[in-house]
Amino acid sequence: MLLSPKPDLPPEVLRQHGQEELEHLRRRVGLWREDFLRQAPAGGGREWLFLVKEFHAEIDEWLYPYVRRLVETEHITAVEGAEFMDFCYQQVLVLAEHLGIVEGVPEGAGTATLPLIYK
């Protein structure tokens, strides 16, 4: 989707495009998570922390700027952007839990719980 600085589409069309894009991105993050889970042995421990860091970096490098731009162009609200980023970071925590680096990922865990991985 090409994002212009001032979209000339009606707000409801922008919002629809934004929601469709978030759904596509959710599926993409799920595919990334599954790929990392296939690479990581269950209970592998901290020696596999590099995979968690790589997944985290992918989200920060590729998704965060795009989601920020979706907010700036009013395709999604700031709240929707924050909720989506929390969803992404929760997937990082799922990988860390799979490796045994953290125990139990609370429902709704996200950005605020990432420090648990790196302590």
pLDDT tens digits, one per residue of 19-77: 999 999 999 999 999 999 999 999 999 999 999 999 999 999 999 999 999 999 999 99
Angle at 91 between CA 89 and CA 93, to 5 degrees: 75
With a CB cutoff of 8 Å and minimum separation 6, the contacts of 11 are 74
Confidence of residue 17 (pLDDT cuts 50, 70, 90): very high
The pTM assigned to this predicted structure is: 0.85
Q: What is the pLDDT of residue 62?
A: 96
- pLDDT tens digit sequence for 106-118: 676 666 666 667 7
Are 51 and 58 in contact, with CB atoms under 8 Å apart? no
CA count, 13 A, side-chain hemisphere, 47 = 4
Q: What is the pLDDT of residue 6?
A: 57
Q: What is the pLDDT of residue 117?
A: 72
Q: What is the pLDDT of residue 8?
A: 83
Domain boundaries, the chain: 11-118
